[in-house]
């Protein structure tokens, strides 16, 4: 009986400890839920997750097994995020960052199959990209087949684009000497080169339309000297030989000089252009056509030597991670 006076104190401290334990359990569960929420989606902030995991570690005595499970899950999440990062950097041509990240991953996870497979893919992509840069910078000649849609056209004074006699297909082939090759743009490892060019071009045009009372047609073969500045503005000057003699929109008993002005929009090996063409005999005939062209560009130049290839591969294998 003499210790009964201690009972209130014992009850007080017991309640306090129980309350503190309850609060720690509740805080542990909330922190664990936050970690699980972060890890349920890609792209969560690793810095933020590290802070939250540190907070969870301070409460790990509440449930050691649950903490160990979450910590392992976090390690797997970080690994996967780093793998995703390498893939994203590769797509953005940030190949140096991708290679550095891979080298660090290889040190931290030696022998990991996923890292090794990704390294092979990334190194092959880097080698291919650098090789393409070499080849693009050494372009000397191009062969450019094209296909176009041109209006049949009218005399310049009568011409209205939306009131053309009809449309026809044009097939062309050009051969060019390249000069003034220069780097126009750079996106990390991806370099975009531009150049000017001069060469010869041959166009064959055949247009026919029967919407009028008397059908009209235009059929010719055109040989030209072609010049394109910076892969953007083009000018073709040449001579056109008429191939049809019946119901043609141009006199069929003579040839015509031609001038074609184009605005070109190249994307790598493809180029789209908008054209305006004038055919004239510098006397009474001035005939104008408009059209759209699409061409594929075969680029040729000095080959990359085996020594240069070895240098490329060596620089990839010995990437500096510091």
Measured CA to CA, the distance from residue 189 to residue 14 in angstroms comes to 66
Q: Is the pLDDT of residue 189 over 80?
A: no
Residue 248: domain span: 139-301
Contact 99, 319 (CB under 8 A): yes
**Which tens digit of pLDDT belongs to each residue from 242-283?**
887 676 777 767 788 999 999 999 988 999 999 999 988 888
Of 253 and 226, the structure prediction assigns the larger pLDDT to 226
Tokens 């372009």 found at: 139
Cα-based distances in Å from 155 to 29, 75, 249, 279: 83, 75, 9, 9
Q: Is the pLDDT of residue 119 over 80?
A: yes
Of 317 and 182, the structure prediction assigns the larger pLDDT to 182
CATH number at residue 191: 2.40.160
Q: Is the pLDDT of residue 238 over 90?
A: yes
**What token pair was written down for 184?**
């126009």
Per-residue pLDDT, 272:
96
Measured CA to CA, the distance from residue 98 to residue 121 in angstroms comes to 11
Per-residue pLDDT, 161:
53
Q: Residue 293 pairs with which residues in a beta bridge?
A: 148, 273
**What token pair was written down for 258?**
């031609």
Please state whether the predicted TM-score (pTM) of the whole model is above 0.95.
Answer: no
Residue 169, H or E segment:
strand 167-187
- Within a domain: 250: yes
**Which tens digit of pLDDT belongs to each residue from 161-183?**
556 677 889 999 999 999 999 88
Per-residue pLDDT, 81:
85
Contact 240, 267 (CB under 8 A): no
**Which tens digit of pLDDT belongs to each residue from 280-308?**
888 877 888 889 999 999 998 888 778 87
Contact 258, 250 (CB under 8 A): no
Looking at the structure of the chain, the number of domains it has is: 2
Q: What is the DSSP letter of 138?
A: T
Per-residue pLDDT, 18:
43
Query: Which residues lie closer than 8 Å to 241 by C-beta, 6 or more apart?
Result: 220, 221, 222, 223, 255
Residue 205, H or E segment:
strand 190-209
Q: Which of 92, 122, 155 is where one domain is finished?
A: 92
Measured CA to CA, the distance from residue 176 to residue 140 in angstroms comes to 9
Mark whether 63 and 162 lie in a shared domain: no
3-state secondary structure of 111: coil
Tell which residue, 267, 268, 290, 271, has the closest CA to residue 228.
271
- Within a domain: 286: yes
Q: Is the pLDDT of residue 1 over 50?
A: no
Mark whether 152 and 295 lie in a shared domain: yes
Per-residue pLDDT, 176:
96
- Within a domain: 122: no
Half-sphere exposure (Cβ direction) of 279: Cα atoms closer than 13 Å = 27
- Within a domain: 312: no
């Amino acid at each position: 009986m003499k210790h009964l006076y201690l009972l209130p104190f014992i009850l007080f401290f017991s309640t306090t400890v129980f309350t503190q334990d309850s609060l720690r359990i509740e805080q542990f569960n909330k922190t664990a839920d936050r970690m699980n929420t972060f890890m349920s989606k890609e792209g969560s902030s690793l810095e933020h997750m590290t802070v939250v995991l540190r907070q969870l570690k301070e409460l790990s005595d509440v449930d050691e097994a649950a903490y160990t499970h979450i910590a392992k899950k976090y390690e797997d999440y970080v690994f996967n995020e780093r793998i995703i990062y390498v893939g994203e950097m590769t797509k953005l041509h940030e190949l140096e960052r991708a290679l550095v990240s891979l080298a660090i991953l290889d040190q931290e996870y030696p022998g990991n199959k996923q890292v090794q497979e990704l390294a092979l893919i990334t190194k092959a992509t880097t080698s291919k990209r650098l090789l393409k840069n070499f080849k693009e910078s050494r372009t000397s000649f191009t062969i450019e087949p094209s296909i176009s849609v041109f209006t049949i056209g009218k005399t310049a004074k009568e011409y209205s684009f939306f009131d053309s006699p009809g449309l026809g297909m044009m097939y062309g082939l050009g051969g060019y000497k390249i000069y003034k090759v220069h780097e126009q743009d750079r996106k990390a490892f991806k370099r975009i080169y531009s150049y000017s060019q001069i060469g010869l071009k041959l166009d064959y045009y055949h247009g026919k339309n029967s919407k009028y009372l008397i059908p009209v047609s235009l059929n010719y073969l055109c040989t030209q000297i072609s010049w394109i500045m910076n892969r953007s503005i083009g000018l073709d000057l040449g001579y056109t030989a008429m191939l049809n003699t019946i119901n043609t929109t141009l006199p069929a008993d003579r040839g015509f000089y031609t001038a074609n002005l184009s605005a070109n929009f190249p994307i790598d090996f493809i180029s789209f252009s908008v054209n305006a063409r004038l055919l004239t005999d510098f006397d009474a005939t001035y005939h104008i056509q408009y059209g759209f062209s699409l061409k594929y560009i075969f680029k040729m130049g000095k080959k990359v030597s085996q020594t240069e290839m070895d240098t490329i591969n060596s620089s990839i294998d010995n990437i500096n991670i510091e």
